[in-house]
Amino acid sequence: MDQIWAPWRIEYIQRPKEEGCILCQKSKEDNDEENLVFYRGRGNFVILNIYPYNPGHLMVAPYRHTANLLDLTEDEVREHFDFIKRSVELLRKVLKPAGFNVGLNLGKVAGAGIDTHLHTHIVPRWVGDNNFMPVLSDTRVVSEALDDTYKRLRAEKF
């Protein structure tokens, strides 16, 4: 059996499990850099996914706790989609991906890891990023530390 050493994961494994909605908690705290909250608007915010599929995996979420897309106001919808567009533009400029996966997973059965708080994923993609590691060994290789990606993105205008 092959082994992959990831000693930094022990902090995650041993930390107390958080109660409640992680997106609500992170959006209410005043510690954006530590929480990887990238940008704040009036009704939505942008956060770097702490369990990314690829470097630069962003999520846009409303501040308001809802899982129902139909609950969003017209202003929230407009800002939400504007943040998606701006995220794609920023990621193109900074990380230069070949393409993107952008989408919502509505409900646990649809793949939502956080199924009680609506959020849109923006995942940069590169040719060859889905190599043998995730296909054969169910292991993802993220080539840049989250803090480094966060700093590179924050250095640019959103």
Catalytic residues: 119
- Residue holding tokens 């940008």? 39
- Residue holding tokens 């109660």? 19
Question: Smallest Cα–Cα separation from 158: which of 103, 84, 64?
Answer: 84
| CB burial readout 42-67, b (16+ within 10 A) else e | ebbbbbbbeebbbbbbbbbbbbeeeb
Instruction: Using CB atoms within 10 Å of the CB of residue 149, give its burial: 0 to 12 exposed, 13 to 18 middle, 19+ buried.
Output: buried
